[in-house]
Amino acid sequence: MDSSVRKTWTAVGASVLAVALLASGIALGRGLPGDGALAAGGEDDVSGAGGSGGTISVTGRATVKAPPDTVSLTLGVEVQASEAGEASSRCASVMDRVVAALVSAGVPRDNIQTAHMHLWPQYDYSEGGKGHIIGYRASNQVRLSWSELDKVGELIDRAVEAGANTISGLSFSLADSEALYLEAVAEAVRDARAKAEALAAAAGVRVGAVKDMELHPDFGRTVDLYVSVREGYGADVPPPVEPGMVEIQVTVSVEYSIEQG
């Protein structure tokens, strides 16, 4: 066969192999055995090219899920009055009732913490100019954590009845997520190894020892919820709150040495 024809078929074969690897989520890096590095995952860096000491760089990912066992929530009170002292006093009085309602519902007092206190003037600019003070607004917020997730809607309802008029920062989490986190780490490493093995097999080499490894954790689940009672929250019906599942996501970047097959 003519040498130019052989070169053409060699190029076609290499292109077909590259397409097959890309279709499975694995990208071929610079060079084959003895001539560079191999990489899995299009965003990964390729290093160690040249000579017989090439590398395979892969990214392993894992997501594990578990039902949450802790809910966190911020409840607030906002009050407006003609005098600063009156606004502050009324706000504090209402917040005392809200905290009492939370404790009565079963939330440990140690799990309730003041998160924010603020007092500011209200101005009237209807006549132009600098405006003049027409009153004062005071706000107070508490942050709480609770383990009785099935009663969150009822808890919010009781807080509103006691005078809370802002609700925000609803989030679900695990009190102890260490075991689940380690499970995700192990699964991500296994995923990285599987990708490296697939890439090495396609290139006719073997996966060697780990040369470098980096962990990128990202876990937690937050539900964005903000309710203003003045804007129509109906205290007669507790708001539906579904905790769903907490997700722990882990990504690992692993670099392996290449061994000849």
Q: Residue 157: in which H helix or E strand, if any?
A: helix 152-162
CA–CA dist 195, 24 (Å, integer)? 9
Average pLDDT over residues 183-211: 94
Whether residue 240 is contained in a domain is answered as no
Domain count, the chain: 2
pLDDT at 197 (0 to 100): 95
Instruction: Tell me, yes or no, whether 111 lies in a domain.
Output: yes
pLDDT of residue 132: 86
pLDDT band at 164 (very low <50, low <70, confident <90, very high): very high
Is 230 inside a domain boundary? no
pLDDT of residue 53: 66
Q: How far apart are CA 160 and CA 118, in angstroms?
A: 20
CATH number at residue 139: 3.30.70.2970
Residue 162 structural domain: 70-173
Label residue 16 exposed, middle or buried (CB < 10 Å: 0-12, 13-18, 19+): exposed
Tell me the mean pLDDT in the region 80-104.
Answer: 97
- Tell me the average pLDDT across 95-116: 97
Are residues 46 and 99 both part of a single domain?
A: no
Strands (E), the chain: 38-39, 55-66, 70-81, 112-124, 132-146, 166-173, 205-219, 221-222, 226-228, 246-260
pLDDT of residue 242: 77
CB atoms within 10 A of CB 164: 29
Contact call for residues 46 and 258 (beta carbons, < 8 A): no
Same-domain status, 138 and 165: yes
For the stretch 2-56, pLDDT in tens is: 444 344 333 434 443 343 444 333 444 433 434 445 554 444 433 443 345 699 9
Tell which wins on pLDDT, 43 or 257: 257
Q: Between residues 45 and 195, which one has the greater pLDDT?
A: 195
Is the pLDDT confidence value at 111 over 80? yes
- Average confidence score pLDDT of the chain: 79
State phi, psi for 112 to the nearest 5 degrees. -115, 125
Question: What are the tens digits of pLDDT across the range 126-141?
Answer: 877 778 899 999 999 9
- pLDDT of 245 reads 85
Compute the distance between CA of residue 61 and CA of residue 250 in angstroms, rounded to an integer. 6
- Residue 30 in any domain: the answer is yes
CA distances from residue 106 to 67, 95, 143, 176, 194 in whole angstroms, order as listed: 21, 17, 15, 21, 49
pLDDT at 220: 52
> Of 15, 35, 29, whose CA–CA distance to 58 is shortest?
29
Residues 84 and 162 in one domain: yes
Strand order in the sheet with 38-39: 38-39, 55-66, 246-260, 205-219
User: Which residues, including other chains, have CB under 8 Å from residue 96's CB and lie 6 or more apart?
Assistant: none
* Domain membership flag for residue 101: yes
Instruction: Considering only residues 53 and 258, tell me which one the structure prediction assigns the higher pLDDT.
Output: 258
Q: Kindly state the percentage of the chain with pLDDT values over 90.
A: 53
| Contact between 207 and 54 (Cβ < 8 Å) | no
Mean per-residue pLDDT for 114-122?
95
As a whole number of angstroms, the distance between CA 215 and CA 4 comes to: 47
**Domain CATH number, residue 30:** 3.30.110
| One domain, residues 184 and 144 | no
Taking alpha carbons only, the member of 202, 258, 188 closest to residue 22 is 202
